[in-house]
Structure formats: C-alpha cells, structure tokens
Chain A
Amino acid sequence: MTSTPDSTEMFLRFSRRSMFAMLVVVAVLGATAIALVLSPAGAVSRSVGRIGWMIPIAIVILVTATQGTLRGRRWSPDSPEVKLVMEDEFRRTNMLRAARIALIVVLVAEWPLALLFGFLTQLPTPRAAMVMAAATVTLGLLTQITLFLFFDRD
C-alpha cells in the first residue's frame, strides 16, 4: 500500500463531491423527466426545447469542475488510494445502509405515487406508468445518495 494520508483524503473528498454532483444531476434530470411526462406542452417542455442542448454541456462542466479538484491526479481504479477509498469499510457500510433504506422508502412511496399519478392527475395509463417509473427511479436515487452523504459525513 503506497498511498499517503493526504492523497487518500483528496480522493475521499473527490468521492463526496462526485456524489453531490450526481445528486444535482439526478434531481435536475428526474424533475425534468417528470415534468415532461406530466405536461408535454407545458412550460418545462418549451424550455427544454429551447435550452435542452445546454443540459449535456452543463453536465460536462460539472464533471470537469469536480475532476479539477483532483489537482492533476486521475481517478484510476488501479491506484492504491482509489482502491482504499472504494474498499473502505465505513463507506461500504454506509452505502449498504443507504441502499436498504432507499429500497424501503421507494416501496412505501409506491402507493402514494400511484394514487397521485394514477388517479388524481387522471393521466392516460401509458403516461401514468412513465411518470411512475421516472418518479420511482428519481426518488430511489435521491434517497440513496442523500442518505449516503449523511451517513458518510465526518
């Protein structure tokens, strides 16, 4: 193991920043997808039509900015620091806890989501199914990432 405390700390911080960036991306994409399915002719759809090309650029800028915090180093799966961070027991325990709770949250939320999108909004069945799928995936990912960041704090 040739990792130094400083470089391991840097990769740990990078790992957390990446998770924050992923949280933002999932929230934006999930909210956009739900809005598009709920109201295909609404304001969000018009905005996405106008500035939709900016989403991939924004994601690239976010990823580049996050990568920039590595100060020239690369996130290589073979490097000892990255292996140490990825195999860290505290991190893996927190990820498992977050995944377990996120699964319960998604299962519990299915009934209210079905009521909301299936009955209250009176959507046609295919669109109701699509919005349910988008909401389920978004909720699950947001819950898991948020809980992981909470559990994994110092």
Chain B
Amino acid sequence: MADETLHNTLKVQRAMRDLTQADLAAMAGVTRRSVNAIEAGRMVPSVLLALKLARALGVTLETIFSLDGPATSTGNTQPS
C-alpha cells in the first residue's frame, strides 16, 4: 500500500476549460490555496472535496484522480 500514490490531472482539466485556480476554487466552494495544494501534490483531498472538484469540472472522479502503484487485492473478489 505504501508504494501507491494518488495522481491527479486537475491542472490539465482546469487548463482545458481555461479556468484559473481562483475560478475553479470559487466554482467548487473551496479556496484557491486548496486547489493549488492538490495540483502540486501537497495535499490529498477528502472524498467530499474531490467530488466537489469533479462536479465543478463536470467530470467523474476517476477522470481527475487515479491511483498509481502495484495492484493489490481489495477483498471484493467473488468466491469461486
């Protein structure tokens, strides 16, 4: 689990829509500092904040955030 890191395409998604960090922050109801920290990888957002950002950009959560690293068992496999 320790090798897994959260990657995000927030900066790309924001640039595609020609939005500033302040614009996106206002749309999502957070501060520009939070958006900046997430883009720089200095902060892992809560699910609530991640969903707010996804909704503000009109995309799904997986479009912005992805988990990179070795695949691990989630415990959700069906019994054979």
A interface list, Cβ under 8 A from B: 1, 3-6, 8-9, 12, 84-85, 88-91, 93, 152, 154
Instruction: Please measure, in the bound complex, the distance between the C-alpha atom of A93 and the C-alpha atom of B45, giving whole angstroms.
Output: 10
Q: Check if B45 sits within 8 Å of A9, measured CB to CB.
A: no
Q: Which residues of B, 29-64, contact A by the 8 Å Cβ criterion? A: 29-34, 36-37, 43, 45-46, 49
Q: Check if A9 sits within 8 Å of B37, measured CB to CB.
A: no
Closest CB of chain B to A32's CB: distance in Å? 34
Q: Check if A89 sits within 8 Å of B30, measured CB to CB.
A: yes
Of the candidates B31, B37, B46, B49, the one whose C-beta lies within 8 Å of that of A85 is: B31
Among B29, B33, B45, the most chain A Cβ lie within 10 Å of the Cβ of B33
Q: Check if A8 sits within 8 Å of B36, measured CB to CB.
A: no
Interface of B is mostly: helix
Chain B residues whose C-beta falls within 8 Å of the C-beta of A152 in the assembled complex: 33
Closest CB of chain B to A19's CB: distance in Å? 14
Q: Which residue of B lies closest to A153 (CB)?
A: B33
Q: Which residue of A lies closest to B38 (CB)?
A: A90
Of the candidates B22, B34, B37, B43, the one whose C-beta lies within 8 Å of that of A5 is: B22
Task: Please judge, given known A-B contacts A84-B31, A89-B34, A90-B37, whether A9 and B22 are in contact too, CB under 8 Å.
Answer: yes
Of the candidates A5, A84, A90, the one whose C-beta lies within 8 Å of that of B23 is: A5
Task: Please judge, given known A-B contacts A9-B32, A12-B31, whether A90 and B25 are in contact too, CB under 8 Å.
Answer: no
Among A4, A6, A90, the most chain B Cβ lie within 10 Å of the Cβ of A90
Chain A residues whose C-beta falls within 8 Å of the C-beta of B43 in the assembled complex: 89-90, 93
Q: Which residue of B lies closest to A6 (CB)?
A: B22
Q: What 12 additional pairs, Cβ within 8 angstroms, besides A12-B32, A154-B33?
A: A1-B26, A4-B26, A5-B32, A8-B22, A8-B25, A8-B31, A9-B32, A85-B31, A89-B34, A89-B46, A90-B30, A91-B34
Q: Which residue of A lies closest to B29 (CB)?
A: A1
